[in-house]
Amino acid sequence: MRKYVLGLTLLVLISSLAACNLKDKSDSSDDPDAERINEDTQGTDVLTNNRQTTPLIALPQQAATPTLVPVSVIEEARADDLVFINIYQRVNPAVVNIEVSGPFSSDGALDASGSGFVIDVEGHIVTNAHVVEEANEILVTFSDGFVTTAQLIGIDNYSDIAVIKVEVEASRLLPVEFGDSNELLVGERVVAIGNPFGLESSMTVGIISALGRALPSERLITGNLSTPGVYNNPSIIQVDATVNPGNSGGPILDMEGRVIGVATAIRTDTGVFQGVAFAVPVNTVQRVVPQLIESGSVAYPWLGVRTDPDFTVGQLAEPLGLPVQAGILIRDTLPDSPADQAGLRGGTEDVLYRGANVRVGGDIIVAINGVFVNDLDELLAYLVENTKPGDEIALTVVRGGQTLEVEVTLGTRDGGD
């Protein structure tokens, strides 16, 4: 009897489980969101719920690792590095840090600092005039940290160039090599080595941004003339290599490591570099330095003409009907000057142009010794780099409708015009 009851109980449980299974299948088949995984599945169908679910955390996909650039590209970039490394290693031993104490320093405190570079085995060093002017004591620090005093040999405030001299062993003196600033082109890469903010032996790289700039001479800036003159420092090189206070007097180099200029000034509203720096061209340096070593000063040639400073011949040619489009329109000649003695003529009448009086009717200088000049800065640059007092020059002059050759014997520039 017990066996019969137990068997009957098991049969009821199995029937109940089967009925539940059939109900679940029916419910799933009627669910509109359910779909069959495989229509070909034999026997019991396999169903899945198609409702979309959002993961709790979205994992970012890992970016592909970049492929290493070809070795040839790396070697090409490294070649440029090696050029700059070589320039620095060859030239830096010639570059020095200069510190000065002036007449107003207290307890021997240093008043100013700058840079310079060795030019011969006699111990001569080139720097800026404004670095060492009125110095009581000059301290020179070489790249290896050796410090010595220097003597001021000569100073030229027109070009902002000075020469100092140290008495050291010749083995410590490794002179620089000079290039040719007349061969420079805008866009060429350049290197500056100096001591910005006293940070010794710093190198920066840039390009030549412009050529033929003219800056007021240091003599005009500092007001060292009893009668202010009108001389500019011509043929200035503009670069974008970073130059800051302390770089003054340091070399600007070409890609062969030759000096092509001397860092002299920056254009800034803040006192630090803002992308524009200027250098005295090396051809001017080579013209000035021998005179400074020999006599301590520089004798500049003097012509004795004045022009209207606000306008060039190129600006005046069309509105005023000038016969040429470039040159130097003479406003007047100074009494007893070389130009006056040679018979050059100044203007004869004033006309109003853009609110300013312009004197016209004078000679227009278009060439010197057969070299055409566009403006007064080019004429001044030629005189500074190629002539000396006492030289006789040939000026090509347009006078009215005629072109004349006028011989002029140059005088010596003084503090006047």
Which residue is catalytic, options 101, 130, 201, 363? 130
Of the residues 113, 156, 160, 201, only one is catalytic, namely 160
CA gap 153, 138 in Å, rounded: 12
Indicate if 248 belongs to the active site: yes
C-alpha to C-alpha distances, 42 to 33, 37, 45, 46, 296, nearest whole angstrom: 22, 12, 7, 9, 112
Closest CA to 115 of 128, 103, 124, 104: 128
Q: Which residue has the tokens 């800034």?
A: 268
Instruction: Give the other-Cβ count within 10 Å of 269's Cβ.
Output: 6
Active site residue 297: no
**Closest by Cα among 153, 258, 215 to 381:** 215
Active site residue 106: no
- Name 216's bridge partners: 232
Q: Which two tokens stand for residue 349?
A: 């009448």
- Residue 399 host element (H or E): strand 392-399
- Residue 286 phi/psi, 5° resolution? -70, -25
Name the β-bridge partners of 209.
none
Instruction: For tokens 């890609």, name the residue.
Output: 255
Using alpha carbons, list the distances in angstroms from residue 166 to 38, 150, 299. Answer: 97, 5, 25
E strand or H helix that includes residue 8: helix 2-30
d(C-alpha 287, C-alpha 140), whole Å:
24
Q: What is the number of alpha carbons within 13 Å of residue 53 lying toward its C-beta? A: 5
Query: Is residue 234 a contact partner of residue 374, using CB atoms and an 8 Å limit?
Result: no
CA distance linking residue 386 with residue 382, whole number of Å: 6
Q: What is the DSSP letter of 84?
A: H
Annotated catalytic residues are: 130, 160, 248
